[in-house]
Structure 1
Amino acid sequence: MAEAANLDIDNRGVATITLNRPDVHNAFDDQLILHLIRLIGQARDDARTRVLLLTSTGKSFSAGADLAWMRRMGDASRDDNLRDARNLALLMETLNSFPAPTVAKVQGAVMGGGVGLVSCCDIAIVSEAAFFALSEVKLGLAPAAISPYVIAKMGVSQARRYFVSGERFSAIRAAAIGLVHEVVLAVELDDKVELALAALLNNGPQAMRAAKQLVQVANPVKVTPDLAEYTAGVIADLRASDEGREGLRAFLEKSTPAWAVKD
């Protein structure tokens, strides 16, 4: 069985982590989250690593939460949901605090936690065909664990819109609001990412780490332990709520949730 994600470090010092669940559009589940935390830690601790590239196989970068995982967590206790949310928060912080430069290579659907991963990378290069959504509210949930990183990237004003609307938006729109840095033709994506990696590899490795640390220290959105615990509690409470369970039921059954206003 293929790994849900894998790590390769080439002779240039590019550590590539590849999400490898194309059959489910690289959706998250509890095992993938833990696996990614381990892989990012391995890349961080390997002296060869100069740059981290986050990429994926298949049509989508990451379509958010895996359906089977959502089904399990919908029936789980608040304590189990809290533990699960803490792991997702840990994944985001592990990527966000990676000491070397990080690059996201993005195509297709980028939903929920996938938006979080993109937000935690220093450089995001995106295919023009990609689309984004923070659609948790449509399920009676909220983009809790990823929220500090997404807000830091797109800003409070845009987060206020997209957190509550749950609407899809294009790669061009994602660039306009600062979520991603460059939008390219799909056929140019590989070459543009390679150009970005080559540019980084021509910079001083320690200087880049120091420069990245400067940004982290000056960042007004600080992810403190209290904030991480708060966001984990928000999602745990919502998953265990009547509204969250109804949203999950409706989504899985492809029906309209009870709270929706009908024409």
Structure 2
Amino acid sequence: MFETIRVEEDTRGVAHLWLARAEKHNALSAAMIGELTQAIGRLGASASVRVVVLAAEGASFCAGGDLAWMRAQMAGTAEERAAGARALAGMLAAMDGCPKPVIGRVQGNAFGGGIGMMSVCDVAVGVAGARFGLTETRLGLTPATISPYVVARMGPARARRVFMSARLFEAAEAERLGLLARVVAPEALDAAIEAEVAPYLACAPGAVAEAKALIALIAGQGRDAEALRAATEAALVARWESPEAAEGISAFFEKRPPGWA
């Protein structure tokens, strides 16, 4: 059984993959990263699953990386830091490469790694009133392992507006940036998700999977995906080892401004 997520599948083959750390705003811990990787692999391989809905319990969709987990990575050995970066990159790659359509049900705020998970969804629908941000630079970090997916979703020009500044933005801007396909009232979210799910249930599952693979093939032309993934892992580790990250994380836990603020 999972401890940080839960999985539900209905009779139509629609699986809901729920982030279930509501008390921690669904921040990504090492356990959650491992469980998400395992769950999305199972769902992708399941003959009965037609569509995956990535959803979250509580008020927040995902607050990003768990700060205690990031602090542990910074305090670990070089091998432990590299393993942590690989685990996070592997989770995102598994979600991005899932052969089933993945629909993001974004019922609340999303920051950092939460933006990364929105970006690996085939479509994400969010609620008015939710706030978003790539907040890593505020802590002396960078959006490293999520960067291939965020930039692919937004495009470089739009990514420049929010990728480096840690600026928070509203759902309407998330839609303009391409992170969200639609913004709806909270009470209309489930109907909007169902509207995204229903067309797939009339499609041939194998054709859907192969069509999704074609997008990945065409989008990846001229790009060494493994080399890119390794480069983002190395970038994350380098940031974890930097004096700025040490200061930023310490300042967060000590509830004081970092030295550069």
TM-score normalised over the length of structure 1 = 0.95
How far did 1:159 drift?
1.7
Name the stretch that deviates more: 57-66 or 202-211: 202-211
Name the stretch that deviates more: 161-170 or 114-123: 161-170
The 1:223/1:133 distance shift into structure 2, 3 A limit, reads: farther
- Name the CA distance, whole Å, in 2 between partners of 1:67 and 1:230: 23
- Name the CA distance, whole Å, in 2 between partners of 1:40 and 1:90: 11
- Name the CA distance, whole Å, in 1 between partners of 2:73 and 2:252: 14
Q: Residue 243 of structure 2 aligns with which residue?
A: 242
Q: Residue 186 of structure 2 aligns with which residue?
A: 186
AA partner of residue 135 (structure 2) = S
Matches within 5 A, 1:10-89: 10-89=10-89
Name the stretch that deviates more: 86-95 or 190-199: 190-199
Q: Residue 118 of structure 1 aligns with which residue?
A: 118
Does the Cα contact within 8 Å between 2:2 and 2:35 map onto a contact in 1?
Answer: no
Does the Cα contact within 8 Å between 2:159 and 2:177 map onto a contact in 1?
Answer: no
The 1:2/1:93 distance shift into structure 2, 3 A limit, reads: closer
1:165-224 alpha-carbon deviations (Å, 9 max, x no partner)? 110111110111111101000110011111211122122222222221221111158461
Does the Cα contact within 8 Å between 1:112 and 1:133 map onto a contact in 2?
Answer: yes
Q: Secondary structure at the match of 1:12?
A: coil
- Name the CA distance, whole Å, in 1 between partners of 2:128 and 2:181: 12
Q: Secondary structure at the match of 2:179?
A: coil
Q: Secondary structure at the match of 2:164?
A: helix
1:33-90 alpha-carbon deviations (Å, 9 max, x no partner)? 0010000011111110111110010001100111321232232233211110111100
Name the stretch that deviates more: 152-161 or 206-215: 206-215
Unaligned runs of 5+ in 1: none
Q: Residue 226 of structure 1 aligns with which residue?
A: 227
AA partner of residue 250 (structure 1) = A
Unaligned runs of 5+ in 2: none
Q: Residue 195 of structure 2 aligns with which residue?
A: 195
Q: Secondary structure at the match of 1:162?
A: coil
AA partner of residue 127 (structure 1) = V
Does the Cα contact within 8 Å between 1:239 and 1:245 map onto a contact in 2?
Answer: yes
Does the Cα contact within 8 Å between 1:77 and 1:240 map onto a contact in 2?
Answer: no
- Name the CA distance, whole Å, in 1 between partners of 2:81 and 2:158: 28
Q: Residue 92 of structure 1 aligns with which residue?
A: 92
- Name the CA distance, whole Å, in 2 between partners of 1:32 and 1:168: 25
- Name the CA distance, whole Å, in 2 between partners of 1:220 and 1:43: 24
Alignment: residue pair count: 260
The 1:39/1:80 distance shift into structure 2, 3 A limit, reads: same
Q: Give the root-mean-square deviation of aligned CA atoms.
A: 1.5
Q: Secondary structure at the match of 1:116?
A: helix
Matches within 5 A, 1:167-186: 167-186=167-186
Does the Cα contact within 8 Å between 1:100 and 1:209 map onto a contact in 2?
Answer: yes
How far did 1:118 drift?
0.6
Identity of aligned residues (%): 38
Matches within 5 A, 1:130-169: 130-169=130-169
Runs of 4+ aligned residues of structure 1 deviating over 4 Å after TM superposition are 220-223
AA partner of residue 214 (structure 2) = L
The 1:215/1:163 distance shift into structure 2, 3 A limit, reads: same
